[in-house]
Amino acid sequence: MYRYLIQTGSSVGLFIFCCLLPSSLLFLAMQKPWKGRPLSNQQVVPSIINGVITALYFSMWGKGLKSCGPVRTILAEYAGAVLGVLSAALYGQGKHLWKKVGGLVAMMLSFYLLSRGWAMGTHSPFDILFCSKLNLKLRSKENLDAEAHPEEILGMKDMIVPIIAGILSALRRVIARRVSLKNQLKRRLHAITITSATCFLFPVAMWDFITGSTSDSTSQLPFSAWAFGSFILFGVILVFYVDSIAEERLHMVFSSPRHLMVAGGCMIILEIFYQMDFSLPGFLLCCIILGFGIYEATALERGKKGTQHFDSPEEMLDDMKSPLPT
């Protein structure tokens, strides 16, 4: 998807809409939310509102991917752990707030290092000083496709879009979990959420199409079976079922250090396979700092008897007895 958006210059909103439309139809066909036990308004209305958040998430995630690259965008999605700091402030966890603030500072440090190119081979100080021979083995600079469109050093302001997308991702997971805890009902409501997101993205996609067709810029949306098919299959459909299985059977939820460890390993393999501008030592350093920040931001009363540690901000908010703030 990143290479497709960079090479074609296509509209992110139009691309996301064209992927969500068949995905919503597949979810509706598989889950059939109109069948079975009738859904109450207390379940349908939050799911529709969650669709608005999902539409904003996909839009900002796509814009962040186009401007920041895949490594920065995927790691920035773990910014949803800041909800752990917010929950501590809202629910009176004042004596542990400083630990969560420390975790938040560590996360911001990781995002700053990512924005300065520490995870990229052309800008990482590790590659410049120590790892030039290792980089030559991992990727040949003659065949490096990313050299045609090298990722640049960014500022923290450029990371705001993917960071906000990460917070929206965590928020939509919290709402989905609060609405229903039963698997079958959760799948039916998720079909409504994706359909709602598709409907809310329709005017945005049409606006991009109309403004693009009246300007001198590229107005067409070239078709790429792999770009569209992979995002529909992996980015919308399978990610929901895989996350559900990982959460229910493996107890591995999103925005947790364990999830980051698995995702980081997959990212290393894909970065090397696609011959991207990648620095392994810099990437590992950013992941370690980010994982430490997530661990501290989601920890509660660690170090005492009966201590409790939450794997994600979603679990922390679920454990609270009072409802979510409006």
- Look up residue 275 and give its DSSP letter: T
Window from 16-20, 151-155, 233-237, 266-270 with minimum mean pLDDT? 151-155
Q: Find out whether 58 and 20 touch, Cβ atoms under 8 Å.
A: yes
Window from 185-189, 216-220, 311-315 with minimum mean pLDDT? 216-220
**210-244 pLDDT, tens per residue?**
886 555 444 467 778 889 999 999 999 999 999 88
Of all residues in the chain, the percent with pLDDT exceeding 70 is 77
Its pTM stands at 0.82
Q: What is the pLDDT of residue 310?
A: 53
Is residue 46 scored above 50 in pLDDT? yes
* Alpha-carbon distances, residue 108 vs 102, 130, 246, 289 (angstroms): 10, 26, 27, 9
Is residue 175 scored above 60 in pLDDT? yes
Per residue in 264-287, is it b (16+ CB within 10 Å) or e — as a string? Answer: beebbeebeeebbbbbbbbbebbb
Of all residues in the chain, the percent with pLDDT exceeding 90 is 39
**145-160 pLDDT, tens per residue?**
444 455 677 778 889 9
Task: Tell me the mean pLDDT in the region 93-119.
Answer: 84
Is residue 22 scored above 80 in pLDDT? yes
Task: Tell me the mean pLDDT in the region 162-170.
Answer: 93
Alpha-helical segments (H) within the chain:
2-8, 12-31, 41-68, 70-76, 82-90, 97-115, 125-129, 132-138, 160-179, 183-213, 225-230, 239-248, 257-273, 280-297, 313-319
- Write the single-letter amino acid at 242: V
Q: What is the pLDDT of residue 196?
A: 95
Dihedral sign for Cα 190, 194, 195, 199, please: positive
Window from 10-14, 115-119, 153-157, 211-215 with minimum mean pLDDT? 211-215
Quote the CA–CA distance of 261 and 221 in Å, as a whole number. 35
Q: Find out whether 162 and 61 touch, Cβ atoms under 8 Å.
A: yes
Q: Kindly state the tokens that stand for 88.
A: 């501590």
Q: What is the pLDDT of residue 315?
A: 56
* Torsions phi, psi for 203 (to 5 deg): -65, -35
- Write the single-letter amino acid at 33: P
Residue 165 pLDDT level (bands cut at 50, 70, 90): very high
